[in-house]
Amino acid sequence: AKRALLNEFPDNCHTEIDIGVNQVARDAGDNRINQIVSSCSRPVPRPSGRPREPTRGPGKCGKITSAFAAEDIAVNIVNDMWRSEGERCGYATSVFERDAKRALLNEFPDNCHTEIDIGVNQVARDAGDNRINQIVSSCSRPVPRPSGRPRAPTGCSSRDYDGGVRMTERLRVTCGSLDRDYLKIQQELAVSRANDCVWKGAIDKFDEIKRSCRNEESFKGYGNKSGKNGKDLEIE
């Protein structure tokens, strides 16, 4: 898989834009590789005796026997709830955790009787809990504001370069979703058929925000959104 990624997204490009885009793509692929390998490193317990149906609750026992598939479903449940509420940090820091845990328990109950169902459902709930914690944690810290604005390099008009800077600012990049926001910037640039100077301004502004996030010592972990008092903070 790594060989295929490197073949599709080589590391020997010469422009900053190509280098950055390919690095993001390879990182995303590496994350997926690690998820798959990790899920296969956990032995799924074998059922002892004949499976029995649960005696209470609307949950599902025996419907999903793959720990890997159960993890994906659990994370999607949490993400869907988060998106359905507009990814509002006000919701994340109030009742989101309670609602999401209830949904996970409903889909992956803790009252199954076979070892395999108990194990798979526990793995799924753990994956969902981790995603909940990421979201809640990301909404508990403010986004640092970079000082100033990048200046147009020699050979680029200030109008084009500043247009790229403003585009990145408009997309509201957050420390908790740098990779996703970087892809959004590239998509926006591609759709608008931006010239090299616009690209340069947009990527320089993103790099400035990324450096500010990394220099903030209080940032730990990785989330999906950053905000304060229920409202997202926009990078200026």
pLDDT digits (tens, 9 = 90+) for 80-139: 999 998 888 888 888 999 999 999 999 999 898 888 888 888 988 999 999 999 888 888
Query: What does the pLDDT read at residue 218?
Result: 44
pLDDT at residue 217 in the model: 44
Are 91 and 38 contacting, i.e. CB atoms less than 8 angstroms apart?
Answer: no
DSSP secondary structure, 108-152, as one string: S-S---SHHHHHHHHHHHHHHHHHHHHHHHHTTSPPPPPPS-PPP
Residues 6+ apart with CB under 8 A from 41: none
pLDDT digits (tens, 9 = 90+) for 67-95: 888 888 999 999 999 999 888 888 888 89
| pLDDT at residue 57 greater than cutoff 80 | no
Q: Which residues are paired to 231 by β-bridges? A: 228
Predicted confidence (pLDDT) per residue in 155-196, tens digit: 788 888 888 888 888 888 888 788 888 888 888 888 888 888
- With CA atoms as reference, report the closest residue to 138 among 109, 102, 177: 177
DSSP assignments along 46-73, one per residue: PP-SS----SSSS--SSS---HHHHHHH
pLDDT score of 79:
92
Q: Which residues lie across from 232 on neighbouring strands?
A: 227
Which tops the pLDDT comparison, 132 or 32? 132
> What is the model's pLDDT at position 173?
84
pTM higher than 0.75, yes or no?
Answer: no
Q: What is the pLDDT of residue 55?
A: 38
What tens digit of pLDDT does each residue of 211-236 get? 887 776 444 444 444 444 433 434 43
User: What is the rounded CA–CA span in Å between residue 13 and residue 189?
Assistant: 19
The C-alpha angle 48, 51, 52, rounded to 5 degrees, equals 130
For 151-162, write each residue's pLDDT tens digit: 666 678 888 888
* Residue 54, pLDDT above cutoff 80: no
Instruction: Please report the pLDDT score of residue 91 as a whole number.
Output: 87
Measured CA to CA in angstroms, residue 29 lies from 1, 8, 183 at distances of 8, 11, 14
First to last CA, the chain: 39
